[in-house]
Chain A
């Protein structure tokens, strides 16, 4: 287990350095002069030069890279060109809004998707399975922002059940929860559809294994086979599914935040893109990617706990 943890941590360090590198080159992928791009068409020669110097763009590429890496690892992601605030602080202040949305959405998705996927697998080929899979297929095929619009139209405008827009940033806890519910539900439903499909195939995969047939040949009850023997095996792929969908949910949270006019990472990054505030975009992308890597790390450790083959080494 210790060596497994050590390996995972080394992997983490490599991936983090990789992320910083990718973001650095993403910056460099902008055709032309980033300083000019950031300042827009009306920039003066002097202001462009000043910005170039501040961003270190006058240095050779490898020096820029090392400087960028050094700063990134110490948490210095530059300043927002628009507000002048440290980019990292801007992003971190937006993070709780996105996290609460993504985590609530994911919880709804897991609570719906995993049981439905398991049910579908157990009842493979029956109308229960067909219905669940049809609904899930429709669920993954509608764009999430469109589902958000329709939800606002029906549940806010028509039924008046939820507030349509905003997050009640200044409101009390329960007002904020009330504002969170609809966007989280929209995000959760679309992710639930993915989770249901992937859980079903993970479960079917396990149910086709030899050891399930062995258990049947020894007279073990079907319920016992499904909910004890097969489920513990299916946990590992299901966890992997949840890990992948978490990244996906954060990506889609951008669209949900825009539709519901909620503050958060997504809307911050989008605003930054439109304002050509590239330092902020960069910081947002870095923070999101790091968050996803940390989630995957947690899952990797969980696999180790669940799967004895990793725990005891073989």
Chain B
């Protein structure tokens, strides 16, 4: 580039408070003006409130069986009726939100922490270290995520902790691949060169420059993996391998409803809607974040997260 170019790109406008304010306003509007982002956020906020306030919102106990009220029709006291054990379906769904959101949250936290670290180290350090990590990740990716989670849960026994660990282990390599490809695009950028030139240690550069700059795609990955985790947990619960009864989960409500689906389809239908709405919320949020945070990363996430 010529001198003209180089000189004019100095960040003089950074110092201009008016311009900064305008940029901030524009950024806020970019989010609030993005329907996917707004709807996704609203759905998740609503789900969070439902889960957090379940014991006050739910009209009845989610676990109290009542053999006198088996498969009751919807009524004022039981808005979605009761299941074959006489439990209030709506209350079970409301409490089920707790399990789904917990699984989503913890899986994201665990798989992001480890996946980010592993991927960042692989992409940043390079050499034989990268080769070994990539070979390991490739191996893990050969197992369908859901099958891996299934086998791990089978090995560890069914509890909330083992479901979370199993799903997290199954999806960590997927986060790591995304992270590595992001870091590979960051590594050649000038500010990394500069940091090396002024003698910063690799760890320091990784923690204070590489990872923060890779955060936008990571945030998008977080929402996608939360959606995948919630679907995986629902699948495990549906197969009877998730959190054990009588704890209500959306997947187990569908399974319970399956046996009576011909005369009480509402039970399974409603539970499926709960899962779908939450997952739609997360996917909308992910799409919204992807468009607003970093348009360049579109191709890097997605395919690798399945």
Contacts and interface: CB of A to CB of B under 8 A. Distances in A.
Chains A, B in direct contact (C-beta < 8 Å) = yes
Interface of A: 11, 14-15, 18-19, 21-22, 26-27, 29-31, 137-138, 140-146, 149-150, 152-153, 157, 194, 197-198, 201-202, 204-205, 237, 240-241, 244-245, 247-248, 250-252, 254-255, 258-259, 269-270, 273-274, 281, 285, 288-290, 292-293, 296
A48 to B, nearest CB: 18
Nearest to B138: A15
Given A244-B304, A248-B144, A269 B152 contact: no
Given A137-B283, A137-B284, A273-B241, A146 B299 contact: no
Contacts of A143: 231, 234-235, 238, 251, 254, 272, 275-276
Interface string B137-170: 0111111111110111011110000000000000
B201 interface: no
Interface in B247-306: 251, 254, 258, 261-262, 265, 268-269, 271-272, 275-276, 279-280, 283-284, 287, 298-299, 302-304, 306
A269 B275 contact: no
B140 A250 contact: no
Contacts, number: 152
Contacts of A247: 141-144, 306
A259 B251 CA distance: 13
Contact of A251 (B145, B272, B287, B304): B145
26 contacts: A15-B138, A15-B139, A18-B139, A19-B142, A29-B152, A30-B156, A140-B283, A142-B275, A142-B279, A143-B234, A144-B235, A149-B254, A149-B258, A149-B261, A150-B269, A153-B261, A194-B306, A198-B302, A237-B303, A244-B303, A248-B306, A250-B144, A251-B146, A252-B144, A255-B235, A292-B143
A31 B156 contact: yes
Interface in B102-155: 135-136, 138-148, 150-152, 154-155
A258 B276 contact: no
Nearest to B238: A145
Nearest to A240: B303
Q: Which 9 A-B pairs have the closest CB atoms?
A: A251-B144, A18-B139, A146-B272, A251-B146, A141-B279, A273-B154, A248-B306, A141-B280, A289-B142
Q: Give the interface SS of chain B, mostly helix, strand, loop or mixed.
A: helix
A140 B306 CA distance: 10
A255 B251 CA distance: 12
A27 B283 CA distance: 34
B235 A145 contact: yes
Contacts of B19: none
Given A19-B143, A146-B271, A205-B299, 5 more contacts: A29-B152, A137-B280, A137-B283, A143-B251, A292-B142
B239 interface: yes
Contacts of B284: 137
B138 A18 contact: yes
Q: Give the interface SS of chain A, mostly helix, strand, loop or mixed.
A: helix
A281 B144 contact: no
B155 A26 contact: yes
Given A138-B276, A141-B279, A205-B299, A254 B146 contact: yes
B139 A288 contact: no
B227 interface: yes
Given A15-B138, A244-B306, A29 B144 contact: no
Q: How large is the interface on B (under 10, 10 to 19, 20 to 34, 35 or more residues)?
A: 35 or more
A205 B303 CA distance: 14
A146 B276 CA distance: 10
A10 to B, nearest CB: 11
B138 A142 contact: no
Contacts of A29: 152, 155-156
Contact of A273 (B138, B143, B150, B251): B150
Contacts of A31: 155-157
B298 A201 contact: yes
A296 B116 CA distance: 25
Given A149-B258, A194-B306, A202 B299 contact: yes
